[in-house]
Amino acid sequence: MIRLIGYSATLFSLAAAVYGVIAAIWGVRSKRQDILASVRAAAYATFGLMLVANLAMVYALVTKDFSISYVAQVGSHATPFGIAVISLWSALEGSILFWGLVLAFCAAAVAWLHRDERSDMFAVTNGVMLVVGAFFYMLMVGPANPFGAVFPVPMDGPGPNPLLQNHWLMAVHPPLLYLGYVGMTVPFAFAIGALMSRQTDERWLWLTRRWTLMAWAFLTAGIVSGMWWSYEVLGWGGYWAWDPVENASLLPWLTATAFIHSAMVQERRGMLKTWNVTLIIATFLLTILGTFLTRSGILTSVHAFAGGDIGYYFLIFMGIMLLGSLALLAGRSEELRTTGSLDSPASRETVFLLNNMILAAFTFTVLLGTLFPLVAEAARGVRVTVGEPFFNRMTLPLAVTLLFLMGVGPALPWGRPSAKHYRKLILPASVAAISALVAVLLGAGLMATLGFAFAGFAITTNAAEFLLGAGARRRALGESPLVALSRLVKANPRRFGGYTAHLGILVMALGIVASSEFTLDHEVTLGPRETATVGAYTVRFDDIWGRQEPHRFVVAAELAVFMGDRRVATLEPRLNYYEMSDQPITTPAVRSRAHEDLYITLLAFERDGSSTTLRVMVEPLLVWIWIGGIIMFVGAGIAFTYRGPKDGKSKPRAPGVPVKGKVAQAGQAAGRVRAADKEEVPA
């Protein structure tokens, strides 16, 4: 019964999406608004149907209905309720099903938010969302059908992958990542919509940039939560290993970051129009490439789902999208003609151009490293792996340059800088020099020293923008410092959201550099009541215990942690033994503090409790990586609240549609901007 409901829902989603695509073409050609309204209805319908299909699957997982193939594959009677729910995304078919839900949600959101728009651009955009939707629903109906029948019905299943049962972040990381990945479909749909309807004006740029910001925020959160999960679960003390799947999530993030910056150059200067559309298309294609890499089993990776024929479908889809987009870009070259030029090589535009070049080089490097094993095998028949040394050596100089640009950009004006602007760089430069000196004295290497210096530099320039702006308001309007700061941000959400995101990534950079440069790493074997000292910590092995839990057997070492004579914590690193898995899964014990993390993994133990082997690491500033990630998300959220310039530039609305109150408010806000900060007046 559940199988029937679920499968029909996916089948009807496909039908609704296919109808929507046909109706969009038909409606645009015949200029019939009633047909275009039915396109929006099709988008709502796919969302409703996907919701039904996903709920049906969750219900089947929770009630252990092993007659459904996906449940037989990842379910188990021993699996607790919460884990049963999130095993929706623990294997290929379920993850595609969940992907479909997120995509349908985005399609419905786009249709709903722009339901009053009457121009062709929105009709095509809705159509493109449904084209991508139709592809994923087709996968669910055919090659990756989660609702397959299993007969006879098994008594029990193996349960989800133990690694995915081990931490609450697994409930958070995939949905965030999917929102980011799938969210990138929306800017792509708008880009295609604008190109096809030849409406490549400011309007699409605003809309696209805002949707990109949203998807970027979630992609950032998804990547950072994935790093955090890997740190808390995998037990090697790190968070990023340049695994193909990690790279797959980084690639669209890089191109989307580039777009968020270069879109502003187009807005101010009328330049980079083709480049911007190309970035949006590339971002979308990279999300599909990433999905292909993780789901086709083409590369060896810790995360890879077991493959199957599904890869061919992705490949064909990717090919069609790539060739179609390129042809469209070529056919619309007139609309994308550059209308402006640079005034000065030391302007903010120039910094944005450099930022884009470096992000493009970064993307290319990561893509090359990820695909190189395939190239080597195709060309020379050898199996190679490209690991951390390659990626670190190639990308660290780029990353350090980006930190530098992040410091220069906010200090320079649009157009032509004056002596005043150069003077603004004196304080940040001194901070950079001091940071570098401290880093050298602490014994940091070249890249780490540059990292500290430029991070300090950029933190100062970005923070200075907040302080100077708030100070000006305080003096001019007599506001208290906190009120001045919050009103400053509210009046210029896009600009200060951007600076906030910068501060987030800079804080993260400090955490990354400090923890990779100054980590202490020791392996110790202790008998009962014996101690080992690592950094400021003394660890004493007190006890070892084992306990049967419903779905696993847990062994934990009980450790007392002292700083000097003071007992500061009791830590219990664990090993979890899952029934259907040969190898135990580690759960490291982590004591996080602002200045450093103490990270202990249980490596081995004697059954009689006579000894235990531990890996003890002290990682400075590591927690700032996660805090930086949260700040980035908040920054993108602040920037997202900016709705674009006053309505003057947008397409005229259809007659009879009133201008909404929100738009009027935005107009007033723009007025306040002018009073408080002259730089932000839209050109």
Partner 1 sequence: MSWKRAGIAMLVGIPLLMLLAWGMVRGDPRIIPSPLIDQPAPDFELPVMAPARTPDGEDVTGEVVRLSDHLGEVVVLNFYASWCVPCRIEHPALVRTAARYRDRGVQFYGVVYQDTPQAIRTYLRQMGAKGYPSLLDPGQRVAIDWGLAGVPETFIVGKDGRISKKIFSAVTEQELVTEIERLLAEPSPAAAPASTPEVSF
Contact residues toward partner 1 (CB under 8 A) are: 69, 72-73, 76, 150, 152-158, 274, 278, 292, 296-300, 304, 307, 311-312, 315, 318-319, 322-323, 326-327, 329-330, 333, 336, 371, 374-375, 377-378, 383, 579-580, 582
Smallest separation, CB 360 to partner 1 (Å): 14
Smallest separation, CB 312 to partner 1 (Å): 6
- Which residue, 293 or 439, is less far from partner 1 as judged by CB? 293
- Which residue, 167 or 332, is less far from partner 1 as judged by CB? 332
User: HSE-up of 32 (CA within 13 Å, CB side)?
Assistant: 11
- Which residue, 203 or 295, is less far from partner 1 as judged by CB? 295
Contact between 160 and 79 under an 8 Å Cβ cutoff? The reply is yes
Smallest separation, CB 200 to partner 1 (Å): 12
- Which residue, 81 or 151, is less far from partner 1 as judged by CB? 151
Contact between 356 and 275 under an 8 Å Cβ cutoff? The reply is yes
- Which residue, 157 or 226, is less far from partner 1 as judged by CB? 157
- Which residue, 113 or 302, is less far from partner 1 as judged by CB? 302
Smallest separation, CB 116 to partner 1 (Å): 32
State the amino acid at position 204 in one-letter form: W
| C-alpha triplet 228, 233, 234: angle, nearest 5° | 100
Helix (H) or strand (E) holding 30: helix 2-30
Q: Which residues contact 70 (CB under 8 A, 6 or more apart)?
A: 57, 60, 61, 91, 93, 94, 97, 146, 147, 148
Smallest separation, CB 334 to partner 1 (Å): 10
State the amino acid at position 281 in one-letter form: I
Exposure string over 517-536, b if 16+ CB within 10 A, otherwise e: bbbbeeebebeeeeebebbe
Q: How many CB atoms lie within 10 A of CB 477?
A: 12
The pair of three-digit structure tokens given for residue 355, joined into one six-digit string:
């930022």
- Which residue, 71 or 425, is less far from partner 1 as judged by CB? 71
Measured between alpha carbons, how far is 554 from 406 in angstroms, rounded to an integer?
47
- Which residue, 46 or 294, is less far from partner 1 as judged by CB? 294
The pair of three-digit structure tokens given for residue 102, joined into one six-digit string:
């997120």
Smallest separation, CB 558 to partner 1 (Å): 29
Contact between 223 and 328 under an 8 Å Cβ cutoff? The reply is no
- Which residue, 34 or 582, is less far from partner 1 as judged by CB? 582
Picking from 229, 290, 260, the residue whose alpha carbon sits closest to that of residue 86 is: 229
Picking from 115, 117, 144, the residue whose alpha carbon sits closest to that of residue 14 is: 144
Smallest separation, CB 383 to partner 1 (Å): 7
Measured between alpha carbons, how far is 409 from 202 in angstroms, rounded to an integer?
23
- Which residue, 15 or 580, is less far from partner 1 as judged by CB? 580
User: HSE-up of 182 (CA within 13 Å, CB side)?
Assistant: 27
- Which residue, 69 or 199, is less far from partner 1 as judged by CB? 69
User: What is the crossing angle of helices 493-517 and 481-491, to 10°?
Assistant: 110
Smallest separation, CB 333 to partner 1 (Å): 5
The label of the residue with tokens 């989660």 reads: 146
Smallest separation, CB 161 to partner 1 (Å): 12
The pair of three-digit structure tokens given for residue 237, joined into one six-digit string:
């003390």
| C-alpha triplet 269, 272, 276: angle, nearest 5° | 120
| Strand pairing class (566-571; 574-578) | unpaired
Smallest separation, CB 366 to partner 1 (Å): 14
Smallest separation, CB 671 to partner 1 (Å): 39
Smallest separation, CB 251 to partner 1 (Å): 13
- Which residue, 46 or 73, is less far from partner 1 as judged by CB? 73
- Give how far Cα 200 sits from Cα of 30, 273, 651, Å: 22, 9, 11
The label of the residue with tokens 């679920």 reads: 6
Could you tell me which residues are beta bridge partners of residue 537? 534, 563
